[in-house]
Amino acid sequence: MNKKDLVKKTRAYALKNAIVYSGKAQQGAVISALFNEGLKKQDVKKYIKKISEIVKKINSLSLDEQKKEFGKLEGEVSKRKVREGLPELPNAKKGKVVMRIAPSPSGAFHIGHAMTACISFNFVMKYGGKFYVRIEDTNPDNIYTKAYKLIEQDSKWLFNNKAKIVIQSGRMEIYYKYAKKFIEKKAAYICTCSGDKFREYSKEKKNCPCRKLSVKENLERWENMISKKGYKPGEAVLRFKSNMKHKNPAMRDFPLARINLTPHPLQKKKYRVWPLMNLAVAVDDIEMKMTHIIRAKEHRDNSERQKMIYNVLKKKFPWTGFLGRWKFKDMELSSRKFTEGIKEGKYSGWGDERLPTIQALKKKGYKPSAFWKFSENIGLSESDKTIDKDEYFKLLNSFNKN
Ligand SMILES: [Zn+2]
């Protein structure tokens, strides 16, 4: 903050404080407001005389005069607290922060991806460590093949070549190894009950009969699941042994892996058993030694499930922060919709300038640092926000200039 700004802000906050406290501003309150505005602690000494002078002068005015003056300076007072730089990340050690983002292969990055992804990226850059872009493609039914290349290109640009890209479907043997390990530790079992039957057990808080099978029987069932002549899709699922009386029904013996015969764009027909999100995510986070996770708050239940998986292996669960949802009043951020539009010829491609994609914005002259700064400004907040397109781009433009 330069001196001119400081004088203006000091006057504004002193007036505001004075009006609240019958005409007498408190110097301490004014200084803490200035910290929120970006005043550095080490600069207080340099400016303290000036600040005192201003506060004194304002306190000598009448309340009416103060109100009149404040009317002119009101714009200097932030409506919300402004933080300078990133907040501290709990338990972060210099050079040892490992974080990830986990996009699904549904399209190129749009501004919604950039907003959340850059929060984790910023922290890794701040402390030093590793940053992974992990493409979650273990559901063969839900893959847009071009997304692999698109995500790779966008990641290179947005994260300045500093992200390591990992594709989950290339790690199947690791998930299989863990699946067997969980069976051996009696933390998982293979359930051959129908979906309806299992839901009934869950509702009645009863164990399904498969739960008490021996490790040997479960390992046989596992072989049967992965073998080509074995169970058919829907006939068997690998389940985590949590607790069938868990107060949250969604936590009761949740599934870890299932059979899906849809050919996978990269693995073709090599695998028939696919890990579900909670297995693949927990295993990767363990293997990649994740230290911190920042994710959308709708993943709170998944976080709980993954914590249970960590506990089986007596591993310490990463520090986890949740983010609120950002909604645009006048714009829909949906990779699926954009893909459809491109297929129908409504858009020329992912770089079509009407799309809020990273590719399109890159063409318009936006730099990666604009997105980093935008995310720095958001920080870690669990509250939902609604903004409109104009507001978003006004902010992004201001960060693109600096
Ligand atoms: Zn069962």
For 203-223, give the DSSP string. Answer: HTT---GGGG--HHHHHHHHH
CB atoms within 10 A of CB 91: 12
Residues 6+ apart with CB under 8 A from 215: 183, 184, 186
CB atoms within 10 A of CB 234: 12
Measured in Å, residue 262 CA sits from the centre of ligand 1 at: 24
Q: What is the DSSP letter of 75?
A: G
Report how far apart the first and last C-alpha atoms of the chain are (Å, whole number).
15
Measured in Å, residue 192 CA sits from the centre of ligand 1 at: 5
Q: Shortest CA distance to 305 belongs to which of 280, 337, 271?
A: 280
Q: How far is CA 323 from CA 117, 298, 334, 378, in A?
A: 11, 9, 18, 10
Measured in Å, residue 191 CA sits from the centre of ligand 1 at: 4
CB 334 within 8 A of CB 307: no
Measured in Å, residue 235 CA sits from the centre of ligand 1 at: 10
Measured in Å, residue 237 CA sits from the centre of ligand 1 at: 9
Measured in Å, residue 198 CA sits from the centre of ligand 1 at: 6
Mean residue pLDDT of the chain comes to 93
Q: Shortest CA distance to 155 belongs to which of 136, 176, 131, 190?
A: 131
- Its sign, for the CA torsion 13, 15, 18, 19, is negative
Measured in Å, residue 238 CA sits from the centre of ligand 1 at: 10
Please write the tens of the pLDDT for every residue from 349-388. Answer: 999 999 999 999 999 999 999 999 999 888 787 888 888 8
Count of helix runs (H) and strand runs (E) in the chain: 15, 11
Measured in Å, residue 177 CA sits from the centre of ligand 1 at: 22
Measured in Å, residue 241 CA sits from the centre of ligand 1 at: 11
Measured in Å, residue 70 CA sits from the centre of ligand 1 at: 70
Q: How far is CA 129 from CA 134, 250, 281, in A?
A: 16, 34, 20
Measured in Å, residue 302 CA sits from the centre of ligand 1 at: 22
Q: What is the pTM of this model?
A: 0.80
Residue 82: its pLDDT value, please?
47
Distance CA 106, CA 100 (A): 18
- For residue 320, list its beta bridge partners: 293
Measured in Å, residue 233 CA sits from the centre of ligand 1 at: 15
258-280 per-residue burial string, b: 16 or more CB within 10 A, e: under 16: bbbeeebbbbeeebbbbbbbbbb
Measured in Å, residue 315 CA sits from the centre of ligand 1 at: 28
Distance, CA of 391 to chain centre = 22
Measured in Å, residue 261 CA sits from the centre of ligand 1 at: 21
- Its sign, for the CA torsion 139, 143, 148, 154, is negative
The SS3 call for residue 26 is: coil
Residue 84: its pLDDT value, please?
58
Intervals of the chain under pLDDT 50 = 81-82
Helix axes 215-226, 172-184, angle to 10 degrees: 160
Measured in Å, residue 207 CA sits from the centre of ligand 1 at: 8
Measured in Å, residue 300 CA sits from the centre of ligand 1 at: 26
Distance CA 61, CA 9 (A): 18
Measured in Å, residue 179 CA sits from the centre of ligand 1 at: 17
CB atoms within 10 A of CB 163: 23
Measured in Å, residue 278 CA sits from the centre of ligand 1 at: 19
Measured in Å, residue 107 CA sits from the centre of ligand 1 at: 37
Measured in Å, residue 282 CA sits from the centre of ligand 1 at: 23
Measured in Å, residue 209 CA sits from the centre of ligand 1 at: 5
Measured in Å, residue 242 CA sits from the centre of ligand 1 at: 14
Residue 1: its pLDDT value, please?
79
Polymer length in residues for the chain = 402
CB 220 within 8 A of CB 171: no
Identify the helix (H) or strand (E) that includes residue 378: helix 368-378
Q: What is the DSSP letter of 106?
A: S
